[in-house]
Chains A and B, each alone.
Chain A
Amino acid sequence: MMKQILLVDLCREKDSLSRYEFVDPIAATLGSSGYLSMAIHFSDVTGDEMENYDKIILCGTALKDDGYQETLCLFSWIKQCEKPILGICAGMQVIGAVFGGKIVPQPAIGLEKMVIVKNSPLLGEAREIEGYHLHNYCVTLPDGFMLLAGLPRAANAFQHETRPIYGIIFHPEVRNRWILDRFANL
């Protein structure tokens, strides 16, 4: 039986208006590539359900929604999870913070060019790409992670050194859907 990709909804409230904007487009992109997904609000995720899924994506939130920063203790399951994980925007910040990085102010809105500094299974070869940013914060590079784009004090993309855990601060559902395809194919 084909397993699904778990989409963790990081919006402050369950079934919020933001879910249509930050979770549904990820599900639609995966669906159009033939991948099944299931969305669950972060407050309902315990970590025990991970065996039911092939991969996990932590989705982004609205610009004004930084509630995830107050509930980081609910994400400790990430450290034990052995499945491939991709964090998008707020999701990247959560992954970074769980592994010891620091969430710091770094507002950005709109399309911005970024230099990918290292080859990776997620983003491919080192080169310049353009991504859609919508965030007030980013995260510093935690110990045990490699920088894929940005700076150690403000990472745009990172990868765990030994595990298939990735984070990107920009939104791949806007003009970079290939990144979701690559993650689904890992």
Chain B
Amino acid sequence: MEKNEVACLITLISENPDSYMFHTPNIRHTDKQAEAIGIPILSWPTQGVKEEELDDLQAALVYAVEKYGIRGIVTGAIESVYQAARVQRICRYLDLWCFNPLWQIDQVNYLGRLLKEGFQVIICGVYAYPLDASWLGEELTEEVVDRLAGLQEKYKINPSGEGGELETFVLDGPIFQKRIEILGASQCYANYRGQFVIEKMRLVDK
């Protein structure tokens, strides 16, 4: 692979909001992100049943090989051995390259780098104490990163949500041709578990 061309994005749409493998909050809106970036997306359904959902990921990758001719995948795995090992096994079975360029990266530095490089990110799910409703819809800023770093020190929370403590949604970034503007959203929250649900959005010129 002398040059790496991004042929498509792949999203697994889980019916189970508590999938062990896949991100779920606002996951159906990844098609809007793909449109904003300008790269085709392959959205593949899964029931999100533990371990069985890996068959769906494998089927999606097989389809991506057939449709887009992919020779490898890139994941955003940072710390999760559970997820990384399972993706590696599927790639080995399918004879695909597997790249994890964020693997073992310092999470606070990583969040800071996202800001420096112009990513606009909001928190769209919280799933662990002491992350309460006030975090939902919050945009990632230096001040928010500092607060997450403080929670890492005090509560061992993964600042980037790698342990499922929080989930995010990207509205803009350096490879976005257009940015996403949220026009309407709602929240559901109880007992340190909640979601910021995007209901209406549009693409805006940058």
Contacts and interface: CB of A to CB of B under 8 A. Distances in A.
B88 A134 contact: yes
Contacts of B129: none
Contacts of A18: 99
Contacts, number: 58
Interface residues on B, range: 20 to 34
A63 B98 contact: yes
A9 interface: no
A51 interface: no
B106 A20 contact: no
Contacts of B74: 17
B188 interface: no
Interface of B: 1-2, 4, 72, 74, 81, 85, 88-89, 91-92, 95-106
Interface of A is mostly: mixed
B16 to A, nearest CB: 23
Contacts of A174: 81, 104
Question: Which of A107, A110, A173 has the most chain B CB within a 10 Å cutoff?
Answer: A110
Interface string A7-32: 00000010011101100110010001
Contacts of B81: 110-111, 132, 174-175
Contacts of B106: 28, 32
Interface string A132-146: 101010000000000
Given A109-B88, A110-B85, A134-B88, A173 B95 contact: no
A109 B89 contact: yes
Contacts of A109: 85, 88-89, 92
Given A63-B98, A64-B97, A25 B103 contact: yes
Contacts of B91: 63-64
A17 to B, nearest CB: 5
A39 interface: no
Nearest to B96: A64
A62 interface: yes
A28 B98 contact: no
